[in-house]
Amino acid sequence: MSPPLFPLLDARQLSRRSFLAGSTSFAAAALLSTRARGTVAATPKFSAYPFSLGIASGDPLPDGVVLWTRLAPKPLEAGGGMPPEPIEVSWQIAEDEAMSRIVQAGTAVADPSWAHSVHVEVSGLRPERWYWYRFKVGTELSPTGRTRTAPQADALPARLRFAFASCQHYETGLFTAYDHLAREDLDLVVHLGDYIYEGAANDQRVRRHNSPEILQLDDYRARYALYKSDPSLQRAHAIAPWIVTWDDHEVANNYAGDIPDKPSTKPAFLLRRAAAYQAYFEHMPLRRSAQPHGPDMLLYRSLNYGRLAQFHVLDTRQYRTDQPQGDGVKPPHAVLMDPRGTALGDPQRDWLFTGLTRSPATWNVLAQQIMFARVDRTRGPAIGYSMDQWPGYEFERRRLLRHFADKKIKNPVVLTGDIHSNWANELIADFDQLDSRRVGTEFVGTSISSSGDGTETPKNNGELLAKNPFVKFHNTERGYVRCELTPQRWRTDYRTVPFVTKPGAPLNTRASFVIESGRPILQRV
């Protein structure tokens, strides 16, 4: 599948052209660009509001961000209710919420081959600033979103506040947690995957998926459209830039590289993966560098927040070898120490090791999917680890822990999603020596809605914490995790909602932890 036309224009060029014309108005920018391109419809008529999926921004740099939207007047219909032709969309970015001090404007083409999505890479902005942005197509104006640029590479900002979230099964719960998240004071939001779920509609749940299990590009697009129609999710996207990565359900449950969970041939699964990756790209505020080519999409990347934090965003699905002992919780077998087993693949691991070694940041954040600590979740004297998580890739997991220790990586903090539960874990150099040195920390964030209403204290918590003394907190309510970083300390608050099967859940802070820089010990506060 070779992408025919990428709907991204050079934002700098376009904005320079509009500035030269002496105007940053939508009309001027649209007119100039239409003349230049000739074939693009600039004044379409829509059957309904075309910005039904909201707006988003992402991957902040010191001088710019990605602005995203997708035109879909009939979001659940094939093609989103759009004519099969390219449409010109104008954008503006301003220093104020009223959009009166516009600093840049331009146009982009929403192309049908990319589901009429728009990804604008704005550059030339000032570092560490709030900006507001919106789109216009024909006479229709999008909602206004707020975004923020990162600090300059050599700056040491006084603080960074962000939240991370994952696992938002539409059917099993309402996205109430996002309403609370949208009221937080956050510089950015990190999403760790399971943004959609691929399964068939089920009548027995709180809400209903729009189709049978999704397999084709149009199915994936309509599923994203269903999820992105949720107003709470839209509000959360509108308050700050997002840094996103995927987990398994953006394609299929527990897939590993080119190997699906359910029986399928490799060529058939790679076609499905290509469709899934394309739809993911179409719906996320990602840069051109992430544009997929068939079943391949470069999603791992790093983002700096000055010298305060570096986010190493990982992809533990696309390149992994098959779960060596299959799925589920299994007692460990010698095969787990086979050096060929990998969750990252060689190029990504080399990139990560180099990035960690060279990082100038106080906090090295690994934004990824699967639990890193080797947690024994079996009852009684038996031992068992989840084979879909890092303990199923034990050889590589130990390499990474050794890298943290040997290279004296500054404050490695692993952020995790996937398992619909909250955990605070100390990462020890050797999980067979429970008193061995602490070399990092891990915060596992619960789901937004997946698994439905949770419980504050799971029944077997006592035994679990006794078997795994490096686990300092475990809870299975829904919610998200808020983090505040300064050059001296990291604070994590587990923000939870007691229910998601009916509206109006209040927000609680169920536990808070602090880490001092240079001392990877979880202090409950």
Please identify, using beta-carbon distances, which residue of 125 and 415 lies nearer to Fe ion: 415
SS3 at position 301: strand
Which range, of 4-12, 155-163, 193-201, 325-333, touches Ca ion by CB under 5 A? Answer: 193-201
Is 68 exposed, middle or buried, given 0-12, 13-18 or 19+ CB atoms closer than 10 A?
buried
163 interacts with, out of Fe ion, Ca ion, none, CB within 5 to 8 A per kind: none
Contact 320, 342 (CB under 8 A): yes
CB of 296 to Fe ion, least distance (A): 23
Interior CA angle at 210 toward 208 and 214, to 5°? 120
Please identify, using beta-carbon distances, which residue of 197 and 513 lies nearer to Fe ion: 197
In the numeric block, which tokens belong to residue 331? Answer: 């007692």
104 is a contact residue toward Fe ion (CB under 5 A) = no
What sign results for the dihedral spanned by CA atoms 470, 473, 475, 479?
A: negative
Please identify, using beta-carbon distances, which residue of 8 and 313 lies nearer to Fe ion: 313
CB of 195 to Fe ion, least distance (A): 10
Please identify, using beta-carbon distances, which residue of 246 and 305 lies nearer to Fe ion: 246
Among 450, 468, 492, 496, binds Fe ion (CB under 5 A): 450
In the numeric block, which tokens belong to residue 107? Answer: 């146009």
Which range, of 46-54, 62-70, 318-326, 450-458, touches Fe ion by CB under 5 A? Answer: 450-458
List CB contacts of 117: < 8 A, sequence separation 6 or more.
Answer: 7, 68, 69, 70, 110, 282, 283
Rounded CA gap, 312 and 372, in Å?
Answer: 15
Rounded CA gap, 314 and 367, in Å?
Answer: 6
Rounded CA gap, 57 and 60, in Å?
Answer: 8
248 is a contact residue toward Ca ion (CB under 5 A) = yes
248 interacts with, out of Ca ion, Fe ion, none, CB within 5 to 8 A per kind: Ca ion
CB of 236 to Ca ion, least distance (A): 20
Rounded CA gap, 334 and 185, in Å?
Answer: 47
Residue entry with tokens 């590009």: 217
In the numeric block, which tokens belong to residue 1? Answer: 């599948």
CB of 69 to Ca ion, least distance (A): 27
418 is a contact residue toward Ca ion (CB under 5 A) = yes
Which range, of 57-65, 117-125, 139-147, 166-174, touches Fe ion by CB under 5 A? Answer: 166-174
315 is a contact residue toward Ca ion (CB under 5 A) = no
Which range, of 95-103, 245-253, 432-440, 500-508, touches Ca ion by CB under 5 A? Answer: 245-253
Helix ranges (DSSP H) in 121-216: 176-181
Contact 135, 68 (CB under 8 A): no
450 interacts with, out of Fe ion, Ca ion, none, CB within 5 to 8 A per kind: Fe ion
CB of 450 to Fe ion, least distance (A): 5
Please identify, using beta-carbon distances, which residue of 441 and 447 lies nearer to Ca ion: 447
β-partners of residue 45 are none
CB of 375 to Ca ion, least distance (A): 16
Please identify, using beta-carbon distances, which residue of 111 and 250 lies nearer to Fe ion: 250
CB of 248 to Ca ion, least distance (A): 5
Q: DSSP class of residue 374? A: -
250 is a contact residue toward Ca ion (CB under 5 A) = no
Torsion of the alpha carbons at 500, 502, 503 and 507, rounded to the nearest 10? -40
Q: What does each C-alpha distance from 473 to 11, 175, 224, 268, 278 come to in angstroms? A: 46, 24, 33, 42, 37
Contact track, Fe ion, 401-440, x by CB under 5 A: ----------------------------------------
User: Which residues in 185-224 contact Fe ion (CB under 5 A)?
Assistant: 194
Please identify, using beta-carbon distances, which residue of 261 and 484 lies nearer to Fe ion: 261
Among 500, 456, 509, which Cα is nearest to 481's?
A: 509
**Binding interface with Ca ion (CB under 5 A):** 194, 247-248, 418
- Can you give the binding site for Fe ion, defined by CB under 5 A? 167, 194, 450
